[in-house]
Structure 1
C-alpha cells in the first residue's frame, strides 16, 4: 500500500534552516533564478540545474538530524545511505544535488555523512479524485489539487501506478510526495522514520 509522506512543519522531520552560498550578488537575475530553482525543487517540476544550487544548508541546531528530512522551501534532504537505497530501487529516476550541512550560527558543519538535496520529478496520475478528500487550488483545465490535511480519504488507482516506481509525485498536485510500501518498509528497517499516511488503492477497472 503506498504512502503519502507528510513532513508538514513538525520537528524533527522538518527543520528550520537557511540556504547559503547561493549566487554571490543580490541582483534581479539572482532573485529570478533563485525563485525558479526553489519552485522546481519544492514541486519537482523538472530536473534542476545543479550549478545553480546553493552549497550550504545552515540548520537551526545540528544535533539528531534525520537522514531524510524536509526544510526550507519544502525541499527534501537525504543522507548517503538513503540516497543509495533510493537509487537501488529507482535507478536514474531522481536527482540528487550535493549540499553541505552546517550550524545556523556558523558552528562546525555536520561531520558524519554526505548530504544531498532530493529532487523527485517523476510523476504519475493515480489519485482518484472522487474517492479522496482534496482541496481545489485551481480548477480545470489546468487543475491544481492538494491533499486535505484533515481529510480521511486518499485513494489511488492501482492500474495507474508504475510498479517500477518507488518514489513519485502526482500530476495535478504540487509538493505532495508519495512512496511505495517497499521503499517505506526498507527505510523503517534501516531505522529511518518518516511521517507517513497510508493511501488506499483500488482497481478502477474492476469497480466500473
Structure 2
C-alpha cells in the first residue's frame, strides 16, 4: 500500500469547534526559494520555485523563524506534523524516522517555531528529494501520450503504483502524476503510526 500524505491533519475525534490555525513566516522569504537544479526531465513541468517536484532546494532565503497563528493551544495543541504553505513542518520524531529509512536523502531545514512572542520548539521544513516514476501504467488510467496520469472529472480513473518501481524508496514525488502530491511507503507509514505521530493525513493508494 502507498499513501498520499498531507500535514496538519487532526484526528476526527478531536473537537476543534471549526477553529483554525496556520503557520506564517517570521524571518526569511519563502516566496523566493529556488531549486538547486531546475533542469527539466521527462516528467511534469519543473518550475524554479519547485516546492513539490522532488528536487533539493537552495537554503538561501529559507525561513528560519515561523509563527503559529489562530486558535490557541487549549483547543489545538501543536501537532508533530503541521501544514506549512501546503507542505510539511515536522518535529524531531518525524525527522528521525525518515532519516533512519533514507539517511541523507531528504532535506530538513530547521525553523524556530513561535506562538506569540514565545519560542516553542525547533521544527523542520521537510523537502522530499526523490523524484520518481512509480506509476503502474498497465493498471492505471487514463494515461496520455506522454505517459502521464490525466484523470478527467466525472470520468472513470484509477491510479496504481508499482512495487518494483518504488523499490527501496520511502518518500517521493511522482514525476508523472500531476499535482505534486507527497507519497510514502507502507513501511514509513507503519513506523509513523507505531509511535503515534500526529498531524499526518493518510490517503491509501493501490500498489501492485
- Would the alpha carbon gap of residues 91 and 107 (structure 1) be closer, same or farther in structure 2, given more than 3 Å must change? same
Residue 170 (str. 1) matches residue 184 (str. 2)? no
CA distance in 1, matches of 2:161, 2:56: 25
Match of 1:18 in 2: 24
- Would the alpha carbon gap of residues 151 and 5 (structure 1) be closer, same or farther in structure 2, given more than 3 Å must change? farther
Match of 2:104 in 1: 92
Do 2:161 and 2:205's aligned partners in 1 also have CA atoms closer than 8 Å?
yes
What do the CA deviations read for 1:134-178 (whole angstroms, capped 9, x no partner)? 7x9xx7659585898x98843112221122x11111112342011
Match of 1:121 in 2: 129
Do 1:124 and 1:162's aligned partners in 2 also have CA atoms closer than 8 Å?
no
- Would the alpha carbon gap of residues 146 and 152 (structure 1) be closer, same or farther in structure 2, given more than 3 Å must change? closer
How far the C-alpha of 1:109 sits from its partner, in A, is 2.2
**In the comparison of the two structures, how many residue pairs are matched?**
182
- Would the alpha carbon gap of residues 39 and 98 (structure 1) be closer, same or farther in structure 2, given more than 3 Å must change? same
| RMSD between superposed Cα atoms in Å | 3.4
- Structure with a larger share of its residues in helix: 1
Residue 155 (str. 1) matches residue 168 (str. 2)? no
Please, which runs of 5 or more residues in structure 2 have no aligned partner? Answer: 12-19, 36-47
SS, match of residue 53 in structure 1: coil
SS, match of residue 203 in structure 2: strand
Which segments of structure 1 move beyond 6 Å, counting only runs of 4 or more? none
TM-score, normalised with respect to structure 2: 0.71
What do the CA deviations read for 1:162-205 (whole angstroms, capped 9, x no partner)? 22x11111112342011111111111111114211222122xxx
TM-score, normalised with respect to structure 1: 0.71
CA distance in 1, matches of 2:119, 2:150: 38
What do the CA deviations read for 1:80-101 (whole angstroms, capped 9, x no partner)? 1111111011111101100011
Which residue, 56, 59, 69 being the options, matches 2:65? 56
Residue 66 (str. 1) matches residue 71 (str. 2)? no
